[in-house]
């Protein structure tokens, strides 16, 4: 049997094992709201479009999108986070219940406003919907001490029954280094991190999945070419004492770092004609974490995450990838790498 069919078979077996794993997600639960309006005319009050409201949807975003992706990949997922006693929070919980995702680890706090990102999209009937503006509603204060304690306790309880921990830190407080440290016990499961602005503040992490700008921000460097990218990845690995790292690069795919192995440059799956990158990072970390939990090597997990990322960016809005879609992609295209 040649190498390519063996790789395809191995990746397929990993994906087929997803229903046998359980992943706890400690994350900032975000409601992604999409409001679509049909272009009516230009306002007389200001040089702006008037949109005739047509539809509105609210879907899981941020850490909640990582939860959603894990569920659609077939894994059992245990989310830990916080929402407010408001409509966006109720809609998030409803979407989880609809997929039979446990919500006992989601703290509902009447003094907390659910993080909500509202995207206004405009277009004509049967045409492309263009995002016009985004409005973010974010907490203006740190989480209360009692909320932090409850989140850490919920995560600690869930970890006893989990094969991996996914930490989705968007900077809103529910997935802070403090809460993570309080949540961890003696259970040694892989911990995979996606942190928007404070990656280097975390310790005891197994793997991380930053994008290129996040690496540049963390190290205060400018990535210009393969050598500077390789050097930056090596620095992150050493400073965080990681076992593996993937740096996502948008249309340029991703690079996987693992132990003392040379970095592996993986081109984007499906070409670079991207439709929408909203939430793609959540899909990548969900797939990468599920693969590690199922026994994949870092390179195998990176290839699977790359397939999933390539699929999801061809969908509009905050979307997920199903286990069947991932299996079909593996059968369609063998894993690719670029040499340097």
Is 49 in contact with 122 (CB distance < 8 Å)? Answer: yes
Residue 46, classified by CB atoms within 10 Å of its CB into exposed (0-12), middle (13-18) or buried (19+), is: exposed
Shortest CA distance to 181 belongs to which of 136, 151, 207, 137? 151
Helices 3-16 and 323-332 pack at an angle, to 10 degrees, of 180
Q: Which of these is catalytic: 72, 163, 169, 282?
A: 282
Instruction: Measure CA of the first residue to CA of the last residue in the chain; give whole Å.
Output: 27
Residue for token pair 């997922």: 77
To the query of whether residue 109 is one of the catalytic residues in this protein, the response is no
| Coil, helix or strand at residue 211 | strand
Is 265 in contact with 278 (CB distance < 8 Å)? Answer: no
Residue 304, classified by CB atoms within 10 Å of its CB into exposed (0-12), middle (13-18) or buried (19+), is: buried
Question: What is the spatial distance between Cα 327 and Cα 74, in angstroms, rounded to a whole number?
Answer: 12
Is 313 in contact with 276 (CB distance < 8 Å)? Answer: yes
Residue 45, classified by CB atoms within 10 Å of its CB into exposed (0-12), middle (13-18) or buried (19+), is: exposed
Residue 163 CA to chain centroid, in angstroms?
18
Question: What is the spatial distance between Cα 51 and Cα 57, in angstroms, rounded to a whole number?
Answer: 16
Instruction: Tell me the catalytic residues.
Output: 282
């Amino acid at each position: 049997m040649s190498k390519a069919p063996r790789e395809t078979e191995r990746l397929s077996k990993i994906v087929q094992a997803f229903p046998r794993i359980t992943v706890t997600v400690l994350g900032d639960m975000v409601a992604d709201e999409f409001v679509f309006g049909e272009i009516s005319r230009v306002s007389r009050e200001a040089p702006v479009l008037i949109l005739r409201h047509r539809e509105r949807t609210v879907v899981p975003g941020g850490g909640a999108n990582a939860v959603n992706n894990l569920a659609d990949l077939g894994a059992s997922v245990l989310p830990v986070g916080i929402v407010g006693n408001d409509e966006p929070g109720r809609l998030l919980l409803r979407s989880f219940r609809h997929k039979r995702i446990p919500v006992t680890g989601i703290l509902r706090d009447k003094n907390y406003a659910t993080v909500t990102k509202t995207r206004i999209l405009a277009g004509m009937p049967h045409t492309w919907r263009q995002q016009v503006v985004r409005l973010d509603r974010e907490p203006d204060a740190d989480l209360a001490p009692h909320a932090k304690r409850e989140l850490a306790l919920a995560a600690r309880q869930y970890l006893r029954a989990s094969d991996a921990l996914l930490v989705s830190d968007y900077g809103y407080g529910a997935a802070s280094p403090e809460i993570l440290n309080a949540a961890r016990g003696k259970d040694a499961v892989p911990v995979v991190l996606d942190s928007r602005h404070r990656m280097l503040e975390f310790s005891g992490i197994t793997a991380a999945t930053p994008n290129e700008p996040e690496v540049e921000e963390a190290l205060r460097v400018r990535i210009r070419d393969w050598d500077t990218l390789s050097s930056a990845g090596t620095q992150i690995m050493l400073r965080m004492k990681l076992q593996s790292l993937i740096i996502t690069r948008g249309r340029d795919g991703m690079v996987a770092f693992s132990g003392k192995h040379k970095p592996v440059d993986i081109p984007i799956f499906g070409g670079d004609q991207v439709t929408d990158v909203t939430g793609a990072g959540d899909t990548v970390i969900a797939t990468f974490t599920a693969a590690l939990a199922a026994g994949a090597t870092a390179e195998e997990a990176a290839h699977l995450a790359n397939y999933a990322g390539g699929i999801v960016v061809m969908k509009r809005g905050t979307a997920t990838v199903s286990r069947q879609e991932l299996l079909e992609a593996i059968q369609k295209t063998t894993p690719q790498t670029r040499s340097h």
